[in-house]
């Protein structure tokens, strides 16, 4: 039976919340354990649905995976299967992260084209092109991407766009390649740095993570390690915008504020008071937010994963805002649900113009992806009555203890 959330509007959120490890990092770290034989232990893992989904993928490849709360232990055998199970892979996008490790470790990979959120097309062209420059051959066959390589060799690779997924697959393949790989226009996200930090702890030789040029000197073999997952900046950003939208006061811990610099700066411009600490921040808002323009860009730009929150706060802001989506073309599906809630929004290509209203009007809405679901809950918190959010399994894929955390902050929300 599908679950839904009942969200009572008009509640001010106040208190503190700690974020767990990043969804967009832990799944890639789990995939990277395929690069070496033995047991790797990951700490600070979020208790979300995607972690056991990735476990299923790894188990299908021959690994043993133990999930113990926030600790995940992965034992990779000497002989790894190169065939990623179709049923497991198709459920979520991050499963494609096994492509690079399998190509490097097994010399071949068969990975079903992944499923996941309905936020637009995310082709694997750059993943395949990068592997091909390292010496692999790739093609799509029977609904799967197939890569074959006897021995990968380092190369100079330049990405057309700083794709996070392509950067991850190229780096994880290059660590066991012969010679040096120089990746230009690489993604700079904190999750990329987290992956490279773990790979270096495993014996890789990677320099430049967090910049646009990553250099990888291939090694013969890696070793298991222990690693603590970086804090989830998107979950942290969600709580920051929840504080501003409800005119609340929330302290967020477990996150480096520099990973959310632009998102927090936007809140300051909208009228919020933001205090940053070594491992967290505090957001306070007393008055109605002021309208602010947003455009999503790769890190260090404004995150596309926080675009629904930008739309949510703009929907109730004083004035008009323009939101520009530069990463995923279908992410404005979220706007259709905001219109149900009474938002004054007009979509024009990859722009949406919002004219803020005093209060949204409660109704039934449907989550189309993880972040849209969370954004709809925040919108429900500033509506006039009870909003019903359907298809909340999306939210559970990215937000651990979402209802419990909101309740602790003072929200009136029930899962039914």
396 marked as part of a ligand binding site: no
Q: Give the chain's length.
A: 416
Is 117 designated active site? Answer: yes
305 marked as part of a ligand binding site: yes
Q: Which two tokens stand for residue 193?
A: 């740095």
Q: In angstroms, what CA-CA distances link 198 with 43, 195, 232, 292, 328? A: 12, 5, 16, 37, 28
| Main-chain phi, psi angles of 255, to 5 degrees | -145, 145
Provide DSSP, 139-155.
EEETTEEEEE-SS-B--
93 marked as part of a ligand binding site: yes
Q: Which two tokens stand for residue 221?
A: 């073999």
6 CB burial (10 A radius; 0-12, 13-18, 19+): middle
CB-based contact 172:31 (threshold 8 Å): yes
Return d(Cα 232, Cα 167) in angstroms, integer. Answer: 19
Q: Could you tell me where the beta strands, DSSP code E, fall in 92-188?
A: 108-112, 137-141, 144-148, 156-158, 180-184
151 marked as part of a ligand binding site: no
Instruction: Single out the catalytic residue among 20, 85, 117, 197.
Output: 117
Which residues belong to the active site? Answer: 117
**Binding-site residue ranges:** 23-24, 93, 305, 327
**Binding-site residue ranges for UDP-N-acetyl-alpha-D-glucosamine:** 93, 305, 327
**Binding-site residue ranges for phosphoenolpyruvate:** 23-24
């Amino acid at each position: 039976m599908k679950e839904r959330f009942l969200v009572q509007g008009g509640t001010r959120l106040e208190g503190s919340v700690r974020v767990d490890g990043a969804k967009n990092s832990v799944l890639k770290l789990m995939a990277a354990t395929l690069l070496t034989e033995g047991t790797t232990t990951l700490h600070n893992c979020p208790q979300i649905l995607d972690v056991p989904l990735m476990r299923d993928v790894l188990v299908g490849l021959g690994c043993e995976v133990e999930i113990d709360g926030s600790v995940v232990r992965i034992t990779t055998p000497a002989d790894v299967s190169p065939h990623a199970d179709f049923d497991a892979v198709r459920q979520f996008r991050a499963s494609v992260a096994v492509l690079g490790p399998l190509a490097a470790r097994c010399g071949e990979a068969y990975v079903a084209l992944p499923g996941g959120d309905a936020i637009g097309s995310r082709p694997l062209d750059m993943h395949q092109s990068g592997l091909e420059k390292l010496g692999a051959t790739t093609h799509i066959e029977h609904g799967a991407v197939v890569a074959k390589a006897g021995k990968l060799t380092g190369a100079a690779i330049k990405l057309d766009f700083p794709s996070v997924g392509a950067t991850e697959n190229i780096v994880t393949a290059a660590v066991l390649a012969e010679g040096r790989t120089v990746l230009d226009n690489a993604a700079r996200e904190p999750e990329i740095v987290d992956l490279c930090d773990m790979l270096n702890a495993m014996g890789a030789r990677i320099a430049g993570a967090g910049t646009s040029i990553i250099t990888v000197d291939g090694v013969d073999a890696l070793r298991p390690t222990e690693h603590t997952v970086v804090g989830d900046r998107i979950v942290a950003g969600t709580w920051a915008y929840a504080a501003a939208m409800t005119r609340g006061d929330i302290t967020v811990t477990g996150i480096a504020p520099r990973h959310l610099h632009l998102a927090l700066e936007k809140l300051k411009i909208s009228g919020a008071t933001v205090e940053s600490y070594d491992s967290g921040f505090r957001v306070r808002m007393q008055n109605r937010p002021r309208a602010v323009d947003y455009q999503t860009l790769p890190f260090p730009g404004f995150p596309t994963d926080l675009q629904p929150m930008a739309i949510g706060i703009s929907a109730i802001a004083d004035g008009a805002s323009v939101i520009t989506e530069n990463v995923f073309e279908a992410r404005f599906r979220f706007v259709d649900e905001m219109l149900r809630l009474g938002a004054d929004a007009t979509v024009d290509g990859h722009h949406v113009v919002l004219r803020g209203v005093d209060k949204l009007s409660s109704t039934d809405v449907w989550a189309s992806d993880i972040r849209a679901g969370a954004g709809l809950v925040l919108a429900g918190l500033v509506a006039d009555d009870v909003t019903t959010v359907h298809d909340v399994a999306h939210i559970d894929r990215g937000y651990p203890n979402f209802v419990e955390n909101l309740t602790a902050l003072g929200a009136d929300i029930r899962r039914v």
